[in-house]
Chain A
Amino acid sequence: MTHPTLTGAEILWATLVGEGVTTVFGYPGGAILPAYDALRKFPIHHVLTRHEQGAAHMADGYARASGKVGVAIATSGPGATNLVTGIATAMLDSIPIVCITGQVSSKVLGSDAFQEIDITGITLPITKHNFVATRAEEIAPMIREAFQIAASGRPGPVLVDITKDAQQGTALFNFEESAPDPFRPHPMLRAESTEVSRAIELMRASHRPVILAGHGIIHSAAEREVRAFAERYQIPVATTLLGLGAFPASHPLALGMMGMHGESWVNHAIQQADLLLAFGMRFDDRVTGNLASYAPNAKKIHIEIDPSEINKNVLVDVALIGDLKEVLGTMEPLIHDKSYLADATSDNNTSQWLREIGAMKGDAAVRDIINLPDNGHLYAAHVINDIWQEAKAAGRLDKTIIATDVGQHQMWEAQYFKHEDTRTLITSGGLGTMGFALPAAIGAKMARPDCDVWCIAGDGGFQMTASELSTIGQENLHINVAIINNGFLGMVRQWQEAFYDKNYACSPILSPDFVKLAGAHGIPGAHVAERKDVTPTVTKARTGSSPFVINFSVEKEDGVYPMIAPGSALHEMVLRPNPLIETAEDE
């Protein structure tokens, strides 16, 4: 078979097609124009974003929703630098995306030519790896290697910078021969029988174990294995923010989210545990609280694919370094102990512990805002709860994807939307990037058109990337937007209330009429300020056929509880004010 001679631009698209790419998110400009010129010859749908940050977040949302590699494309200079926040967001949450940037001609590289910027230098610390292609023949091998690096091991973003003359030059195109060397697993991966048996001994000795379920479960596609493991040994499961959905929220062993805004019994269970099984999580400071007092009596087993995470924040007793699914597969047959083969009806190793945790829940859940009668105030918790109830009633929990922004509403979403299924929550955990929700929702909808996609954003963060409403209009995507409008940069306000003497410096925020803003984009919408209107409006948005924007005017000075102040131990949380309603009415 002879291989065609193509331009670098054509090779770029042909390689992407070969990698299975059907959708890219981008924005054209001078240095990437040769590529855009060649696009029409290839079966790839290009979503024109309104800002390159949006392109990176969309690629990210696409990857999180589908598990595939997302692709963003931008021109040199400002196009490339606009990607940076999106790349960093993907880096901190280990999301596989490939960003392609145009670059000035190799002949003028280093001369401060128009729109020349050292984007590989800039993105060095926020990519897993990056490349510069200066010749057409380098493009296919680099793009293929970029895909391999992005998706393998611990995933992450990869950037490929392609000079204009590389796009214009020609080379033989041979997809197969451009394949990278086989993936080299990190040589420190290690989960051998000695460690596995040490882990099993710790399990046998434990009567108060807790599984810490992280994002790695989703990356490893080990949801079923983790569930089977928890059920077989009757171990309760606490989840990180990014692990939500990896273990069904309604499962009897599910405790809920741990950490700074986790429910009290979850954090108490961790603090009182005698064994923590950390599955694909990295003991981030938001989940440990003060390290010195973190789970003081617990032995720790860390199953993790990235060896540099071992003993980084928390010293562990056994590290099983590898892909979670594989490690669990190795462990299972080695656990022979009959006393572990529990069935839920009889007493087993952990039944006393499970009862204790049940007792710790006590009435904490009853005091919760969603259980209080409607008193005319609309709380964000109501809105989230009702969106969840709507999806549940429609039998579409597994087909409802929520993309959140960052702030109070993000934490309320994590608390009140009970995620049953993997990849149904898309949120920026590590970087905490405001402006993420709307573009991420667009990426998710492109990846999963069969799903109901909700963007849940604060009034502040929504305005950071609100221009992507126009992208929704142009692509005619049925995405529902719920703006949790509290008139504040709420999370900032809450910290100012708690730690800065209620000095609300620069946290009140004025917003446009979001419904009119939507209308200007040809998108219908509604204002909701009362509890009774929430569900009907949510139903209308979900069952309609066009995008819909709802502006929820919620209680302004509501707080996210429980909350662990910085420096406090995980069990030293500030609980929900009781009863919450009265505090609200005092104002």
Chain B
Amino acid sequence: MLHTFVALVDDKPGTLTRVASLFRRLNVNIVSLTVGESERDGISRMTIVCDAPEHAADRIRASLYKLESTRDVDELGRSEAVIRELCLIKIAAGPNSPHGQHSRSQIFELANVFRARVVDLAPESIMLEMTGAASKIEGLLQVLRESNFEILEVSRTGRMAMRRGHHTSRVLKALGTKTAEDTPVAFPDRPDTDDLPNQFSEHEA
């Protein structure tokens, strides 16, 4: 099954290798991994989607925590979250393309339906930008293919995820949130009460 982890990691050379190497060591395939700056200086936020057995989640999370570069890890398995992906699609749309000179208007229409945006218009091609859940993006791609459009290029960012509502783990509180005062707080001995290995054996049965 797919697991989604959101990790705060040091923005330092080699951090990505450490995270990627961990998954390789655990023999777990990474489905997608996105990384970029976070709201904190010197700390990046990663969203890692991986394919692993159901019971592996706690171990992966615990192992991610073991990396010295890791500050916090959240597993979104059991919580409400917004999960988004960005996709760029280049489609042939010149007079010689399958739909000839109607290509453009048909693509515009599809774009409208899927709330994609046209971001580039060239004599022979159109580029669409679409943000949404992975399933929506796959829907658009499928419709394009089934309607016999020639897809020239696809580039997807992979999933980014964020919990809904106001959620700050105890680890983040200790790190100091943006609004909290900037006094360094000692680390808590444990994070939120949910999703810890102890609960795990029950889910297993």
Contact = CB atoms under 8 A, between A and B. Distances in A.
B132 interface: no
Interface string A179-196: 000101111111010010
B187 interface: yes
A293 to B, nearest CB: 18
B65 A186 contact: yes
Contact of B68 (A121, A128, A188, A318): A128
A316 B58 CA distance: 14
A306 to B, nearest CB: 7
B65 to A, nearest CB: 6
Q: Which of B72, B198, B201 has the most CB of A within 10 A?
A: B198
B68 A129 contact: yes
A311 B59 contact: yes
Contacts of A185: 187, 189
Contact of A310 (B18, B67, B188, B197): B197
Interface in B190-204: 190-191, 196-198, 200-201, 204
B186 interface: yes
B68 A311 contact: no
Nearest to B55: A311
Contacts of B63: 308
Contact of B198 (A125, A306, A318): A318
A310 B197 CA distance: 7
Q: Which of A187, A308, A311 has the most CB of B within 10 A?
A: A187
A182 B197 contact: no
A317 B55 CA distance: 15
A53 B126 CA distance: 60
B65 A307 contact: yes
Contacts of A190: 189-190, 196-198
Nearest to B187: A184
B163 interface: no
Interface string A314-338: 0111110110000000000000000
A114 to B, nearest CB: 23
Contact of B196 (A124, A188, A318, A322): A188
Given A120-B14, A312-B59, A187 B197 contact: no
A319 B190 CA distance: 14
Chain B interface residue bracket vs A:
20 to 34
A311 B58 contact: yes
Nearest to B69: A129
Contact of A308 (B66, B189, B204): B66
Given A187-B187, A190-B196, A308 B14 contact: no
A179 to B, nearest CB: 14
A149 interface: yes
Contacts of B72: 187
A349 B168 CA distance: 47
Nearest to A312: B59
Given A128-B68, A310-B58, A319 B198 contact: yes
B62 A310 contact: yes
Contact of B201 (A120, A192, A316): A316
Interface residues of A, number: 30
A195 B170 contact: no
Contacts of B204: 311, 315
Contacts of B191: 187-188
B171 interface: yes
A307 B68 contact: no
Contacts of A121: 17
B78 to A, nearest CB: 16
A288 to B, nearest CB: 17
A281 to B, nearest CB: 16
A189 B189 contact: yes
Contacts of A120: 14
Contact of A188 (B17, B55, B190): B190
B201 A308 contact: no
Contacts of B18: 124
A187 B65 contact: yes
A311 B171 contact: no
Interface string B17-28: 110010001000
Given A124-B17, A188-B61, A306 B66 contact: yes
A132 to B, nearest CB: 8
A311 B191 CA distance: 19
Contacts of A125: 21, 25
Contacts of A182: 186-187
Contacts of A321: 197
A355 B62 CA distance: 41
Interface string B30-73: 00000000000000000000000001001101110111100010
B176 to A, nearest CB: 13
Given A308-B63, A316-B201, A318-B198, A187 B171 contact: yes
A585 B105 CA distance: 95
A198 to B, nearest CB: 9
A500 B61 CA distance: 42
Contact of B197 (A128, A129, A149, A311): A311
A49 B32 CA distance: 46
Nearest to A183: B187
B173 to A, nearest CB: 11
Interface in A159-192: 182, 184-190, 192
A47 B72 CA distance: 41
List 5 A-B pairs, minimum CB-CB distance, nearest first: A308-B62, A307-B62, A129-B68, A310-B197, A308-B63
13 contacts: A124-B21, A187-B65, A187-B188, A190-B198, A306-B66, A307-B58, A310-B59, A311-B200, A311-B201, A315-B201, A318-B198, A319-B197, A319-B198
Given A125-B21, A187-B190, A187-B191, 18 more contacts: A120-B14, A124-B21, A149-B68, A186-B66, A187-B187, A188-B61, A188-B62, A188-B196, A189-B190, A192-B190, A306-B66, A307-B65, A308-B59, A308-B62, A310-B59, A311-B58, A311-B59, A321-B197
